[in-house]
Amino acid sequence: MKMMWCWRCKMEVPMLEDEEEQHVREIMDRGPEQEAGGLMLHERLKLILNYYNILTGWEETNFNAVMHHMVGLYGPPCEQCGKPYRTTKATFCAACGNKRILKKPSLRISFDLDDTLIAYSFPFATEPRQWWQKLLGQERLRAGTVALIKSLQAEGHSISIYTSSLRPVRRIRMLLRSYDIRVEQVINRQIHLKTVPVNKQQCSKYPPAFGIDIHVDDSTGLAIEGNQHKFKTIIVAMDQEDWTKYIWNEIEKQAKHFPNFKRW
């Protein structure tokens, strides 16, 4: 929890940080349709308000206030006045008018899910799960995923998920957040079909439609599509040894094609 300026309340208030926000969203997901631990809406709202008030020492009664008192909704502090930018993508400060310089990511990289980051048909080693992840039935991420994505982001690269599955976007984001991972875009099959041009619909994935520079996948067929339709891929085998190092090496090999690439 940290104190931050809230644009709606016009004052500094306690804001929930990533892990605290994740806990609130987990409570909201405990609907009555769940077999175990399901709660009615009014019960979930009460739990969230109690959690927020105990954590912050405030006496908040408005659930909607809690849902916009989250650090992740805002941008960094303004370089001039110190108040947070109203959104993560805001281009100017609403308080002082300071123009913000948004740095372009070195590379925009997307990852497939099944048999690339999620153990689906191949039993590769997986990241450890907390008890509550098991309780919520969260899928298992490939061992090394968390460190890989965080290290790529630390170097200034933008990370997205691009999957052919029908998993809802919200479910994918919740899965990643349960491992403390945030991504720029989540593209599932429905979004792919709505966005990709008709003349590229024969591709199982078409990263250029989403501004993606390199896509990481386990499908060798996608590499063929990439060669045919001029987009970059990194194909990582399900049994690839030291797969995270392999991806770093492949990114470095393809760096010459991207003038914005940031060498480490």
Predicted confidence (pLDDT) per residue in 185-200, tens digit: 999 999 999 999 999 9
Average pLDDT of the chain to the nearest whole number: 88
Q: Check residue 36 and give its pLDDT.
A: 58
- So where are the chain's domains? 2-73, 108-257
By C-alpha distance, which of 88, 98, 174, 82 is closest to 136? 174
Please list the alpha-helical segments (H only) found in the chain.
18-28, 41-56, 63-67, 131-135, 145-154, 169-178, 189-195, 220-229, 243-253
Q: Does residue 98 have a pLDDT over 70?
A: yes
Share of the chain above pLDDT 90, in %: 61
Distance between CA 176 and CA 154 in Å, rounded? 17
pTM: 0.63
3-state secondary structure of 223: helix
Residue, of 224 and 130, whose pLDDT is higher: 224
108-257: what CATH class? Answer: alpha beta
